[in-house]
Structure 1
Amino acid sequence: MTSKRLNTFNVLFISLAVVAVGYVIRTPWLPIRRETKTSMGYPEDSLMNFTELTGKYGYISEEHHVITDDGYILTMFRIAKAKNCHKRKRSPPVLLMHGLLQSSDSWIDSGPNAGLAYLISDACYDLWLGNVRGNYYSRGHVHLNPDKDAEYWNFYIEEIGMYDVPAMIDYVLDYTGFEKLNYIGFSQGTGTFLVMCSERPGYCDKVQLVIGLAPAARQINTKSKIFRTLTQTFDKVEGALSMYGVQEVLCKGAFSQEFVAYFCQMSDFTERLCETIIDVFDHVESPHSGSITNETTKVLFGHFPAGTSVHNMARYGQSMKSDRFEKFNYGKEQNLVIYGSEQPPLYNLSATTVPVLCIYGKNDGLVDVKDVEWLMSKLPNVIESVKVEEPLWTHMDVTYSQYTGDTIFPKINEYLLKYTSA
């Protein structure tokens, strides 16, 4: 078993080396055309966008565009009509936010019987799904070109929390006419909400319930050696990468993503290897076998990774070295210039006054139990903190497991009902 995991680690390390330089390599044949992928046997679902994929399974979705205060153009989706909801939608609306390197597609990749977007909309909630700056749905800007202007990529969770999350909340409330909404965030999707509450006074008052799924704040206890090494490497080499014009990483359509998507559907062997890679990335000592199906694995790598900035990845590397939930650390001298102090300021977790439900897994190697418990101890209005009963529940299970309907959705639905009108 140790030898098998070591071999997998070596394959993954080589793959990550490919990933790390993947965005630098540009060729005329990338991204591979959809027609070509179809002829090569790629799963149909992996080639579809959000509206196409939900439409295939009988759901009608709308595409909306939001402009942030700093000019980023974000794409949101709304499931306007759910296949299995045959009555009036509940109110207020629900905003569902993805994690790092994901997009709204992550909530539907596991199919209509397991994807949280399907389960929530089938329960007759007015569901909206966000996409933060830098992923393939949200690469627009009013005057910056993400392919030419390095300034576009000068962001991390600070800007996502300061601008993206508030803009999406405002848009949903303005569009629907409600004063408040319910918010569900996975990993980074919760961390950026905490940033918003700290840095944008009054915005917590626009939310009546937050459900944090494996919430990411500080990550000093993260067990994943792969994630720790990758992000801390970005922290060390960010300056060098910037000199060579590399500000965007792990994006859809680049060599790295295209390679993984192709590799994972080549054969039964590569499919199984990709499943093992997910476990190793999450540093799962006891894999949750069968939780993420073969078909879902092939589909998700058609949409993942979805892209972000080097600066954001570097910030995650820092979060594993500090026992504080703090802003970007530029070093003592630069911190004095930017912040007026040698240490970066803390995010004010006590500003998250909205009721919080937390759901997390014991077998999560990316957002460790100790860090979740630390975070819950800092928030002033935690109404319940729930450890998933399944002891093998992992980080990636949250979005991709076939068992979400039995494991985490019942608790999500219980609290949405408490904070929802029929």
Structure 2
Amino acid sequence: MKFDVIRVSVVVIACQLALAQRFPSLQFTKPIRVCKEHQPLQTNVSTDPFACTKEQDLNSRVKDLDADKNIVQISQENGYLIDSYNVTTSDGYILTLFRISGGNKSPARKGKPAVLLLHGWGNSCEAWIALPNNKNIVYMLADGGWDVWLGNFRGSSFSLLHKTLNANKDLKYWDFTFHEMGLFDFPPMLDQVRTISGLDKIFVIGHSQGVSSFMVAASELPGINEKIHAAFLLAPVVYIGGAYDTFVPPLLSIINTPGEDLLYRIVQGRIQLRNPRLLFSALRIEPHDICQSQVLKCGLCDLNALIPNVFNPSQMNYTNIPRIVSKLPDYGTIKSALHYGQIVRSCSFRYYDRGTRENIKRYGTKEPPSYNLKRVKTPIFLYYAEQDAWVTPPDIQRLARALPSDTLIDVVRVNDDTFNHLDFVVARDANVLVYKPLIQMMIKFNNRIKTGV
């Protein structure tokens, strides 16, 4: 009887999430919100579900030979020197970092400024190379003379090992959120970069959940700030009270209910997004066929219906979808998703809410404590998008006010009214709208450091 109840509950939750994604109009009854909901700027962007097929017809059958290759293969075949390093956290997780120390345009040498990139939820470091090689930020930095390091948080496909736990068998392995990523993952990755590069301080670039983890570390571990020149934070998921993505209503419906633990246990702590090849094989489709008319009936190309409100269709290069599909999805951790749901509902950036009794036991208070952002001393650059369905402009304003005035250096709005959350890593013009000006700002900041101005 108990099993039947659990099974029915899971089916209801799964259907609610799936339907809300596929049909945004089916929002269901919205749970009580503490924050005032944000109304996005109205634009004239077409949401034509056949846009990908039309564009594919115009561009013919474009096959990206790198779509099925990993970051090591792509880097080596394009003349970049790439190495991997393992670090072990204090709680036993074994993480992998990749270092691109040079390439044909900028050979490896000592003294290069180092930068560590932190990926978002449901991604690994390969999300940073979802765009073609001449447009993604990884190779732009490497070509520009930077010592590039790519972090992989616990639970991503490159960091699934643990000293005692098995990610495939032990549910306890997945009992973490971005809180643990910030407290336990970021510090050893940061120190590894400093040790190998021989530098006292480095730069940090984070996207989405990578920013959440960074903020946890910078606020809870004050010494971290002394090791970073500056942090460039894209789509910073910190305050998200105005989030309006279609996942939000069904997610909030289970927040602070037994549904949290139920969902966590049934899906074994994570959502497997990593291997789209399995889906392609089952449908007898090759990745380069994904936007052809013969697969339109499968709905694979209709990304605006599958993941609405997280990227802008007018900024999507549909001929690049095979590469995006193979590089962007990874493992999505349930506890982090639930933690974000709690943040949306409470309108605050705070510890994981484990219920009154456990909160008192762990934190000494009925409600979980908030992260004290006034402790963040690293120079901060915030980058936000007007149409970001998770981090709205009012949320950015609140974050800017929460940071110390001498810490916040700049708040940068992407110069495109239609730019969205995932556009920071998949938009066709991300190199022009975000990466080039960001790298120029990093160079300017680094020059000031060298000259002591």
Normalising by structure 1, we get a TM-score of 0.83
SS of residue matched to 1:327: coil
Trace 1:140-179 onto structure 2 (pairs within 5 A).
140-179=161-200
Match status 1:408 vs 2:434: yes
8 A contact 2:276–2:325 mirrored in 1: no
**Equivalent residue, structure 1, for 2:132:** 111
What fraction of aligned residue pairs are identical, expressed as a percent? 26
The answer to whether residue 271 in structure 2 is matched with residue 249 in structure 1 is yes
- Does residue 240 (structure 1) correspond to residue 301 (structure 2)? The answer is no
Aligned equivalents of 1:254, 1:10: Cα separation in 2:
20
The structure whose Rg is larger is 2
Verify the 8 A CA contact 1:108 1:116 in the aligned structure 2. yes
User: Is 1:391 matched with 2:413?
Assistant: no
Q: Which residue number in structure 2 is paired with residue 361 of structure 1?
A: 385
CA deviations 1:3-54 (Å, max 9, x no partner) are xxxxxx9594399xxxxxxxxxxxxxxxxxxxxxxxxx99543321110122
Q: Structure 1 residue 102: deviation in Å?
A: 0.9
Shift of 1:411: 2.5
SS at match of 1:320: helix
Where 1:225 maps in the other structure, the secondary structure is: coil
Give the aligned partner of residue 370 of structure 1.
394
Partner of 1:317: 341
The CA deviation at 1:56 is: 3.2
Q: Is the 8 A contact 1:234 1:310 kept in 2?
A: no
Pair 361,319 (structure 1): closer, same or farther in 2 beyond 3 Å = same
Q: Secondary structure at the match of 1:118?
A: helix
Q: Which moved more, 1:321-330 or 1:224-233?
A: 224-233
Tell whether the 8 Å contact from 2:81 to 2:102 is kept in structure 1 after alignment.
Answer: yes
**Conserved in 2, the CA contact under 8 Å of 1:235 and 1:315?**
no
2:301 to 273, 278, 289: 273
* Structure 1 residue 146, shift from structure 2 partner: 0.7
Change (3 A) 1:363 1:241: closer
State the one-letter code of the partner of 1:107: W
Structure 1, 128-137 or 291-300: larger mean CA deviation:
291-300
Q: In the aligned structure 2, how far is the partner of 1:45 from the partner of 1:234?
A: 40
Aligned CA-pair RMSD: 2.9
Local SS of the residue matching 1:273: coil
Instruction: Find the residue that maps to 2:66 and give its secondary structure.
Output: helix
Rate the CA distance shift 1:48–1:263 in 2: closer, same or farther, 3 A.
closer
Q: Which residue of 2 aligns with 1:327?
A: 351
Equivalent residue number for residue 324 of structure 2 = 300
Q: 1:50: which partner in 2?
A: 71
The reply on whether 1:138 has 2:159 as its aligned counterpart is yes
CA deviations 1:305-351 (Å, max 9, x no partner) are 21133211111111211221101112223212221111100001011
Matching residue's letter, 1:343: E
CA distance in 2, matches of 1:278, 1:84: 39
Kindly tell me: are residues 347 and 159 of structure 1, through their superposed partners in 2, closer, same or farther at Cα, counting changes over 3 Å?
A: same
Query: For 2:112 and 2:173, how far apart are their aligned partners in 1?
Result: 36
Contact 1:166 1:196 in 2 (8 A): yes
User: d(CA) in 1 for partners of 2:145 and 2:243?
Assistant: 36
SS at structure 1 position matched to 2:83: strand
In 2, the alpha carbon distance for the partners of 1:384 and 1:59 equals 32
Tell me if structure 2 keeps the 8 A contact 1:51–1:60: no
SS in 1 for 2:367: coil
The residue aligned with 1:420 is: 446
- Identify the match of residue 13 of structure 1 among 8, 11, 22: 22
Change over 3 Å in CA distance of 1:274–1:261 after alignment to 2: farther
Judged with a 3 Å threshold, the aligned counterparts in structure 2 of structure 1 residues 232 and 174 are, in CA distance, closer, same or farther, namely farther
Deviation at 1:79, TM superposition (A): 1.0
TM norm structure 2: 0.78
Deviation string 1:90-125 (CA, Å, 9 cap, x unpaired) is 633100111111111111111112111111111111
- Structure 2: gaps spanning 5 or more residues: 1-17, 25-61
Secondary structure of 2:353's match?
coil
